[in-house]
Amino acid sequence: MGRILAVTNAKGGVGKTSTVANLGAALALEGKSVLLVDFDSQGSLTWHLGYDPDDYRGLSIYEAIIGKHQLPDSMIETKYAVHLVPANLDLSAVELDFLSDFMTDGVPWQSRLRQLVYDYKEYYDFVLIDTGPSFGVLTINALVAAEEVIIPLSCDYLSMRGLGQLMGVLRKVKDRWNQELTIAGVLATMYDGRTKHSREVLQETRKALAGKILVFDTVIRKSVKFQEAPLVGEPITVYDPGFWGSKSYRKLAQEVIDLDKKGR
Ligand SMILES: Nc1ncnc2c1ncn2[C@@H]1O[C@H](COP(=O)(O)OP(=O)(O)OP(=O)(O)O)[C@@H](O)[C@H]1O
Ligand SMILES: [Mg+2]
């Protein structure tokens, strides 16, 4: 049976989408079957993998979530051995739809994504869900659907401060709707070892979470290559396979796979 992971942090621009795209591609290189779900109306994951979100109007995660069609109707078989469910701006209408009595199938608002993706545990080793920078209804849906969470944390002080709030939200979701939710780990991103600030934030984070929450050994360093890859619609492992950043995401894939072997 596969694993469902949400990549989340309400802080914007910390590397959530990059992590879903690059970890997804890296897991596929390890021979894993992978489904990526873009659950952010910005459609950044869709862009990152080389697809224009607007081309998928009427065929995105939005139509699946409101029950207009089935999930496979909106799946793209990408060139990178991962399947992708795209998103676009239409997804932002979901909030209104949830508030209206538009949906009459009895599935509660917070469980709609879970209801869509849960069965795919049978067909994929990994289902990775990208979330947007908020704790709104979309992110809550992703956290109810997920069994595990990866938290990208950019190595700066403000990000570190936001971690406590995020933990609080995760606890609430777990208590109310999803008892099986666990934190797979915190992933340090945008690390710049030349600055004292980056080094201190990483050190402090490891110290504060020691014995409680895993901080992955893999650290994603800062590089402009991570900005270039989405421009050509490629995961970093395809854009430049020999680059240290590609190796980092492949190492992260191994760490994520090994978590399962440890029988968590
Ligand atoms: N390790 C890195 N080094 C430098 N730039 C990076 C790195 N990882 C991602 N980026 C770039 O930083 C920006 C934000 O990354 P990304 O879109 O992955 O963050 P996000 O958390 O998904 O953002 P949002 O909250 O808007 O969804 C992008 O331009 C991305 O290409
Ligand atoms: Mg994003």
Rounded to the nearest whole angstrom, what is the distance from the C-alpha of residue 44 to the centroid of ligand 2?
A: 6
- Ligand 1: which atom is nearest the Cα of residue 14? 21
For domain 3-258, give its CATH number from 3.90.1150.110, 3.40.640.10, 3.40.50.300, 3.40.50.970: 3.40.50.300
Would the CB of 17 count as within 6 Å of ligand 1? yes
Distance in angstroms (rounded) separating the CA atoms of residues 69 and 74: 8
pLDDT at residue 70, as a whole number: 92
Q: How far is the CA of 43 from the centre of ligand 2 (A)?
A: 8
Q: What are the tens digits of pLDDT across the range 218-251? A: 999 999 999 999 999 999 999 999 999 999 999 9
Report whether residue 39 contacts ligand 1, using a CB cutoff of 6 Å: no
Ligand 1 touching residue 162 (CB < 6 A): no
The rounded distance, in Å, linking the Cα atoms of 252 and 258 is 10
Q: Greatest CA separation found in the chain?
A: 55
| Confidence (pTM) | 0.97
Query: How many angstroms does the Cα of residue 264 sit away from the middle of ligand 2?
Result: 27
Domain range list for the chain? 3-258
- Edge-to-edge strand ranges of the sheet holding 215-221: 76-77, 82-85, 34-39, 126-131, 3-7, 148-154, 182-191, 215-221
pLDDT at 95 over 90: no
